[in-house]
Structures are given as structure tokens and as C-alpha cells.
Amino acid sequence: MRKMKYTFPENFWWGSSASGPQTEGRFDDDGKGENIWDHWYHEEPEKFFDQVGPDKTSRVYQKYQEDIQLMKQIGHNSFRSSIQWSRLIPDGTGEVNPKAVTFYNDYIDELLANDIEPFLNLYHFDMPMALQEIGGWTNRKTVDAYVSYAKTCFKLFGDRVKKWFTHNEPIVPVEGGYLYQFHYPNQISFKEAVAVGYHENMASAKAIKAYHEMNLGGEIGIILNLTPSYPRDEQNSADVKAAEMADVFFNRSFLDPAIKGEFPQALIEVVKELDILPDIQEGDLELIKNNTVDLLGINYYQPRRIKAKETPIDHTHGPMPDDYFDYYDLPGKKINPYRGWEIYEKGIYDILTNTRENYGNIRCFISENGMGVEGEERYINAEGQIDDDYRIEFVTEHLKYVHQAIQEGTNCLGYHMWTCMDNWSWTNAYKNRYGFISVDIKNEGKRTIKKSGHWFKTVADNNGFIIEE
């Protein structure tokens, strides 16, 4: 055994990420409008774990001051969350909610007063219901509504917030809402999925253009969940081709336009061949070309294992991305049993290497990486703290690969874990816990720092860690 020291670059961003709809909660007098999650919970509460809905999230709307003190206590110098579109502009367009302006101003000011830089994202799956009723992202009018909302945010908060992001994981509304039925409106249509992705890309480019024109002295990017696609057999050309197609659909459909300003040729060929091209209007592609991101946030949880298509194509719902590949179950993989997700730490290094080698070594940071565990109360010690050594190990092993990528020249500026405190996670609600800080939703959202939170403080203070290997 020998001691190994991992030191990160000066001014590295140490912190965590969250989102408005997963943390803020809803209160009788807060003026928030309905979004798709509020609506879906009213319609089908049984779809949500233990029937816990978005109104019961971690009460950040009330507890943000306490939370920021806890962030400071566990070593944060930065923190990413999102503005809820339906809180700020309840109907998606029109009047601004003054109570939301007060809340976000106070939240931002409190972060800054405690030397925690706010990173703000504009869209985290929370479509205002009034806009979903006209088709949400399938309707080009939503792009215009989004850009107006983005400009409002820049005007209200851009004097203090200098890190903005247009979308978090924009492939998720495509997959969840219009392909695989895990987000509202639970439809299955490759054609509509393509329209959703196209309009999200358009909205991002237009918001970037608007932000740069306002000369607010900050930077704007996008946050993508980059899930590397590994072929079953790297010597098998059919497996390699299948993995490339999965990468085109789920990573490069947003990565390429965000950084290179253009869609992958292989994706264009598929949508043309299937006759599911979106409505591309004059000037659209030029707009995307000329308004690329300043900064890339990277979310990484698990790899994607792919093999050549072997199962029969299911034509029930028309064409699907899965027509071009099959998933491969890697024997002997390390797994998080609570999520069913493979744990493959080297994936984070491969993503970062890809940004260096194929995307101009864009300035980037890890904006989400984390481990959800069910039933964490099993690990409470005599002092009432959760001993989540598994989370410390998970983060450490990923950080070692982040460090390696940086040593090799990747322009990675920070690491934010998902998440700061246990939060509400869509239909899973509070089934799996991810936070550095536990939240007791049955006891008015009482907060308690976990062992991993205290450990993270030592990492941030030392700008790295020493371990025996």
C-alpha cells in the first residue's frame, strides 16, 4: 500500500446540483403555476412512489437560508439549481410572479453572501402546463415562450448570476415524454420526439444569442447527460456501428449542435430516411451554427452497453431508435442494486477525453454524478448520522478518473455531485436518496449532514484527497 495524493486545479468548483421542481415545494400563497409534474400527480398519484408528489419536495422555498449554511458547512464554493419556469411565469407566458422574484433574489443573494457561486439552469423537465396544452416542445411557439422567459431571468438575476445553463439533460424530455413513457405526456412517436429535440436545440441557441447580446459579463452553457455507448465487441463492426448509432441518438443529438453548431450527419440521414424531419425554417440552422455554448456541464451516472440488432424490430409504435441497436447485459458488471445501474467509473474519464479530443477541449465540469440508495436509514449511527461510506467510495473512484483526465489536459473546471440534500425525484419521489444531507420528509424536512457531507468538506478544503492504494 502507498499513499496517493490527488490535487485538483486552483479555484476548482466543489459543490452539488439540484433543481427547482425537485426541491422547492408548493405553498398556498406562493403564486406558482401548474407544470406537467403537478398536473400528472393530480391525474395519477399512484404512479409516484408512496404517492409523494411535487408539492411535498424538500421545502427549499422555506428553508433555503438553513440549507445554504449547511452547504457552507460541507465545503461548497458553488451550487447549481434551476429556476422553475412555472413559478416565475405561472402560465409560461405573460405576467411574472412577484413572489417568485423575491424568492429567487433572496436565494441568490444568500448564496453570494456565503461565498457560494450560483449556477442557474433555465429548464429542468418542468414544462408549464399551459404550454404543454399546446403541445409543449412539439410546438414551435414554446420556443418563443422559452426565449422570453430566459430573457426575463437574465434581466432579473443576470447582474449577480454569471453561470447560466439553457437546459439540463434535454434528451430526457425526448426519451421520457415521446419515446419510452417515463415522463408526461407519455407518448410514443419518433416523429414528435425529433420535433421536441429540434425545438430544444433551437431554444438553447436562441437563449445563448439573447444572453450574449445583453453583455452581462457571464457565460452560458448547457448540461448534458453523456452516457458513453460501448460496443459488446470492439472488433465486431456491427456492434461498433450499433454503439455509434446509440451515441448519435442519445448523446450527439445535443452535444454536436451545442458545441459544433451542427447536427450529426448520421442523425440527419435517419430522420430523412424515415420522413420525420422537423419543420426547419429559414435561418434556423444558421442560428444554431452561430450560437454555441461557452461552457459544458456533464452529468454521468452509468454507461450504455450496446450490441448489433438481434431481436425482431417491434413495429407497434412505428420506427424507434431501438431499431438500430440492442442493449447488451455485460456479465459480471458492478451494479448499484437500488437503481439497477452499472457502476463504471472509467466512463467519466472517457467522456472527458472525448470532449478534449473531439470537441475542441471545451471548458467543462462534472455537473452531476451520484449514487441513489434506498432505505438509507439502515445506516444511521448512534449520533443520528447516516454512514454512507458507499457514497464516499463512489465519488472518490469517479474523482480519481476526473483527476486523470485533467492531468492529461482536459479542461475540466469542477465537480458537482447530485445532490446537496435528498430531493424528490420524479415518479421515484424519495425512494432513492442521493444527498450529502438527509431530509426527513415526515419531520418537516429536518436536515442532517451525512458522513459523505463531512468527508466532502475535507476534500474541498484540501482541493483534493489522499488515499492509500
- Active site positions, annotated: 368
Cα-flanking dihedrals φ and ψ of residue 194, to 5°?
-65, -40
For residue 438, the cross-strand partners are 448
Distances (CA, A) of 258 to 106, 207, 289, 377, 443: 31, 12, 9, 41, 43
Spatial distance between the Cα atoms of 341 and 431, rounded to a whole number of angstroms? 15
- Distance CA(275)–CA(14), nearest Å, equals 46
Q: Provide CB contacts within 8 A for 422, sequence distance 6+.
A: 58, 430, 433, 434, 435, 437, 438, 439
Reported for 187-193, long-range contacts at CB under 8 A and 24+ positions apart, including other chains, are 188/317, 188/320, 189/317, 189/318, 190/274, 190/276, 190/318, 190/319, 190/320, 190/321, 191/274, 191/276, 191/318, 192/138
Q: Which amino acid belongs to residue 113? A: A
Neighbours of 353 (CB within 10 A): 18
Q: What share of the chain is helix, strand, coil (3-state, %, to 5)?
A: 45, 20, 40
Task: Give the integer Cα–Cα distance in Å for 352 and 402.
Answer: 8
Question: Beta strand pairing status for 464-468 and 3-7?
Answer: antiparallel
| CB count in 10 Å sphere of residue 431 | 17
384 SS3 class: coil
